Structure 1
Amino acid sequence: MDAVELTRKLQEEATCSICLDYFTDPVMTACGHNFCRECIQMSWDKGRGKKGRRKRRGSFPCPECREVSPQRNLRPNRLLTKVAEMARQHPSLQEKDLCKVHQELLKLFCQEDQSPICVVCRESREHRLHTVLPIDEAVQDYKVKLEENMEYLREEMMKTAEVLARDNRTLKEWQEIVKNRRDRIEMEFEKVCLFLAEEEHRLLQALKKEEDATVMKLRENKVLLDQQNCSLEMLLLELEEKREHSALQMLQDMNHPLDRIKNLNIQYPEAIPTNLTTVCRVPGQIEVLKCFQVDVVPDAATAYPYLLLYESQERRYLNFPVDGTICSKDRFLAYPCVVGQTTFSEGRHYWEVGMNLTGDALWALGVCRDNISRKDRVPKSPENGFWVVQLSKGDKYLPMLSAATPFTLMEPPSHMGIFLDYEAGDVSFYNVNNGSHLHTYSQATFSGPLQPFFCLGAPKSGQMVISTVTAWVKG
């Protein structure tokens, strides 16, 4: 008997004919057949429920041979218990070791199909031309390959562990670096905030000192003028009273009041200037505004016919006063003006304008609505769509408001900055030379898109540099 047949026979002997599984607590009947105790008990229970099946009280038919046996005549089969346990545990008795088609042991390995086969499969058409090895040799070959791959995986796991450890160290180092930088940023901003607070306090103190000095002078002048006005009023009342007297009474002691009037020392203090010398200058503000800097380029198609534009670096003219240009609907005809190519309807934007102008130059800078009148002369005020600052006679910047009070600077700057915060409704102007604030227009909202606005007053006024473009008025 070969190994396969022996294995099959052992499986049959260790299998219960009722549950068709390996015996569990096997017992033997009087007729010599074996069953699981639980299986034969179930058979008893079914037999009791059927009439005429029991010939004698306490007996039952054997499920295998139908011979009637006493119900209690069951003996435990300990040997069969051991055989069943061996059948369960022995690997050679597992179904996976048998060919599903031929029920033969899987002794060979087909390299083409990469699967175990039996000797019968080897002779079949499916595997006849394939390379076949004994399964033990195939196992050895694959054990070598598995060992090689396991070694490779161990090496890769070691490398992975090293890289993981390195990255963990890097993570801790990086978090420490970020923490130090975060602390440094907070400390530096605290310094700046402290410095700005001190600078704000210093400027407010200087402004308060200037305010108090001017107020004191004005109050002293007020006291002097009040006293002088009181003396004049008393003399006037005295003269009015004498005028009502009779002729003789009027002529009596007339020289006294007249002498007093003659000896009056009337003083009129000089007008005290109200131009502030304390400027609004926030350290670093221009650098912050430059974060919003945009490249503003004048639109040559909108330029006044005799306002010439050329590229500063190449000296290449962008426009000429030729026939036909005056008729353009976009061109300014009333003033030497031009607007930028870019239109703003949201966000924050900052640009700078350089100026090389004569002392009597007239000019204006700022923003305007994109639909302003370009053929008529209109006041450059917010009501007409202009938010500009203008230089007049070389030393005065006039915010173009109908009721605005001009403010005077010691000298006009050669570099102006314009900052537009569209959502906030603000247009601010700065002296880039010293970082001081000049003026801000504030309103709730703008009613439409805005464009940068540039205006030169007259020929020989000098030049205005806008980004890479230079503008000047042809005489």
Structure 2
Amino acid sequence: MDAVELARKLQEEATCSICLDYFTDPVMTACGHNFCRECIQMSWEKGRGKKGRRKRRGSFPCPECREMSPQRNLRPNRLLTKVAEMARQHPSLQKRDLCKTHQELLKLFCQEDQSPICVVCRESRDHRLHTVLPLDEAIQEYKLKLEENMKHLRDEITKNEKLQTKEDQTLKEWQEKVKYRRERILVEFEKMGLFLAEEEKRLLQALKKEEDETAEKLQENKALLDQQSHSLETLLLELEDKNEHSALQMLQDMKDPLVSLKMQYPEAIPTVLKTVCRVPGQIEMLKSFLEDVVPDAETAYPHLLLYESRQRCYLSSPALEGSLRTQDRFLAYPCVVGQKTFSSGRHYWEVGMNLTGDALWALGVCRDNVSRRDRVPKSPENGFWVVQLSKGKKYLPSVAASPPFTLTEPPSHVGIFLDYEAGDVSFYSVSDGSHLHTYSQAAFSGPLQPFFCLGAPKSGQMVISTVTVWVKG
């Protein structure tokens, strides 16, 4: 008998016929059969209530041979207890090695169902047509496949570890770059702050020097005029006193009192400030709020021509009677507003100019509901925050309570910066970055639009983004 058959016989001897498991506390009946104590007691308990089963009181049939056996005659089988324990510990008789259906050793492997089977299962209907291998061969194939999978996983782990190392290094390098850039930002802004502080100090000193020099000259002129005024008043008093004398007294002193009078009139001191408010880099900073402002042809004065350079066409045509009566069109002045309306935020745009001859232009912002048919002063009270650009002597001063700020030598490019929440409209010379003028108020009462107003025909051209504007002559 081979080892496998011997092990199977050992398993049969150590198995209870009721629970089909290894014996637990085995006992022997009077007829010589063995059962688990709990199994035989439960079997007899079930048969206690069945009529006609007991031949005499206190006796029960054996589940194997049906011979009657007194319950009190159950004897412990210590030898079978040891055999059952040996079967439990035997590696070839573990439960996982037995077929659950036939209690046979699992010796085969079904490839279709991917599960181990016994020789009885092999002949059953479920597995008869399936491909079956000996369990040892299947285990060898599985081990080979398992080793391949393990190798693949080890390779993936190695690859993943390399990527982890690389990512850690990349993260470290990235953090170093960010740290360096953060330090540079702080250092550069500190340098810029120091530079701006020095530039601010220099401008304030230059302004103070200009103030003191001009004030000193004005004070000297004032002192000279005060002295001459005192001398004239003294001479006038002398003459008035002589005028009261008698004719004989007058004739005794015939000298002309004005012979020694020498008047000095000081030259007029110019009061135009030479110190310019210029913050380095401010124009570049303002350009971060740059808007593509395009004039709205529907609002243009009837004789205002708008030429779009990118489209190579005119946006408006004058002298159309129907278009003269639209409520959005300016009729009092050669004006136009931008297509965009601003009611929040910060906005910046630039305007180029080529003024010729006598001209009085204006640009800035206006409320979206300003009068477009009537001639009204372009002042904040009427909804205009503009600077006037004057070239030549033909300049008519405004009669408004707060007339617009006027530039008699306007730059070729003007930048307009609107800070709606702050209530500021500022104007800058784009060429040198100097500040020209700022309107400040607590708040704006409504939406604003970019505003452009040209002078008479042949007074030049204004360039707004890619649109060139001039008045038809």
Aligned length: 432
User: What amino acid sits opposite 1:422 in the alignment?
Assistant: Y
2:266 maps to what in 1?
A: 269
Residue pair 2:308, 2:315 contacting (<8 A) in 1 also:
yes
Distance 1:189 1:457 in 2: 44
In structure 1, distance between residues paired with 2:254 and 2:366: 66
Q: 1:82 to 1:120 in 2, by over 3 A?
A: closer
Deviation at 1:295, TM superposition (A): 1.0
Distance in 2 (CA, whole Å) between partners of 1:419 and 1:7 is 99
- Whether the 8 Å CA contact 2:22–2:88 is kept in 1: the answer is no
Q: Do the aligned residues in 1 keep the contact of 2:388 with 2:405 (CA within 8 Å)?
A: no
Retained in 2: the 8 A contact 1:122–1:128?
yes
Alpha-carbon spacing, 1:307–1:437, altered in 2? closer, same or farther (3 Å): same
Q: Distance in 2 between matches of 1:419 and 1:163?
A: 51
What is the rounded CA distance, in whole Å, between the counterparts of 1:287 and 1:257 in structure 2?
Answer: 77
**Secondary structure of residue in 2 paired with 1:181:** helix
Task: Provide the rounded CA distance (Å) in 2 between the counterparts of 1:252 and 1:331.
Answer: 83
Deviations 1:165-194 (A, max 9, x none): 122222222222222222222222222222
Question: What code does the residue aligned with 1:403 have?
Answer: S
Name the aligned partner's letter for residue 387 of structure 2: V
Is 1:373 paired with 2:377? no
Note the C-alpha offset of 1:236: 4.4
- Report what 1:41 is aligned to: none
Note the C-alpha offset of 1:473. Answer: 0.5
| 1:22/1:88 contact within 8 Å kept | no
Match of 1:278 among 259, 264, 275: 275
- Distance in 1, matches of 2:388 and 2:143, equals 92
Per-residue CA deviations over 1:377-413 (Å, capped at 9, x if unaligned) read 111111111111111234899999733585655x321
Identity %: 69
Q: Does 1:107 align with 2:111?
A: no
- Point out the more displaced range, 341-350 or 114-123: 114-123
- How big is each residue's C-alpha offset from its partner over 1:91-123, in whole Å with a ceiling of 9 and x where there is no partner? 434333332333333222221111222223222
* Partner AA of 2:454 in structure 1: L
Distance 1:141 1:426, change over 3 A: same
228 and 158 in structure 1: CA distance in 2 versus 1, 3 angstrom threshold = same
2:429 aligns with 431
Equivalent position to 1:330, from 318, 328, 331: 328
SS in 2 for 1:416: strand
Q: Partner letter of residue 213 of structure 1? A: E
Q: Aligned equivalents of 1:307 and 1:135: distance in 2?
A: 99
Counterpart code for 1:352: E
Name the structure 1 match of 2:349: 351
Distance 1:9 1:402, change over 3 A: farther
* SS in structure 1 at match of 2:325: coil
- Give the C-alpha shift of residue 88 in structure 1: 5.4
Q: Check the 8 A contact 2:367/2:383 in 1, yes or no.
A: yes
Which segment drifts farther, 169-178 or 253-262?
Answer: 253-262
User: Which one of the candidate residues 441, 449, 471 is aligned to 2:439?
Assistant: 441
Report what 2:401 is aligned to: 402
Residues 225, 456 of structure 1: CA spacing in aligned structure 2 closer, same or farther, 3 A cutoff?
same
Question: Does the CA-based 8 Å contact 1:303-1:339 persist in structure 2?
Answer: yes
1:131-170 → structure 2 map (5 Å cutoff) = 131-170=131-170
Corresponding position of 1:177: 177
Structure 1: any 5+ residue segments left out of the alignment?
Answer: 14-19, 37-63
- Could you tell me which amino acid in structure 2 is paired with residue 102 of structure 1? H
**Whole-Å separation in 2 of the counterparts to 1:8 and 1:364:** 114
1:303 aligns with 2:300: yes
Q: CA deviation at 1:11?
A: 5.9
Distance 1:5 1:242, change over 3 A: farther
Q: Secondary structure at the match of 1:389?
A: strand
TM-score, with structure 1 as normaliser: 0.79
Report the aligned-residue RMSD: 3.8
Against the structure 1 CA distance between its residues 260 and 276, is the aligned structure 2 distance closer, same or farther, given a 3 Å change threshold?
same
Q: Could you say if the C-alpha distance between residues 82 and 180 of structure 1 is closer, same or farther in structure 2, counting changes exceeding 3 Å?
A: farther
Asked if the contact 2:16–2:35 (Cα under 8 Å) also holds between the matched residues in 1, the reply is: no
Aligned-residue offset at 1:8: 4.8
Asked if 2 retains the 8 angstrom alpha-carbon contact of 1:235 and 1:257, the reply is no
TM-score (norm 2): 0.80
Distance (Å, rounded) in 1 between the aligned partners of 2:388 and 2:406: 11
Corresponding residue of 1:191: 191
Structure 2 SS opposite 1:362: strand
Quick check: 1:334–1:377 contact (8 Å CA) kept in 2?
Answer: yes
Q: Which residue of 2 aligns with 1:217?
A: 217
Match of 2:338 among 337, 340, 347: 340
Name structure 2 gaps, 5 residues minimum.
28-33, 38-69
Shifted more, 162-171 versus 100-109: the winner is 100-109
1:458 aligns to 2:456 (yes or no): yes
Relative to structure 1, the CA distance from residue 381 to residue 436 in structure 2 (aligned partners, 3 Å threshold; closer, same or farther) is: same
Shift of 1:35: 11
Distance, in Å, in 1 between the alignment partners of 2:15 and 2:129 is: 35
- For 1:257 and 1:277, the matched residues in 2 are separated by 53
What code does the residue aligned with 1:473 have?
V
Distance 2:389 2:351 in 1: 14
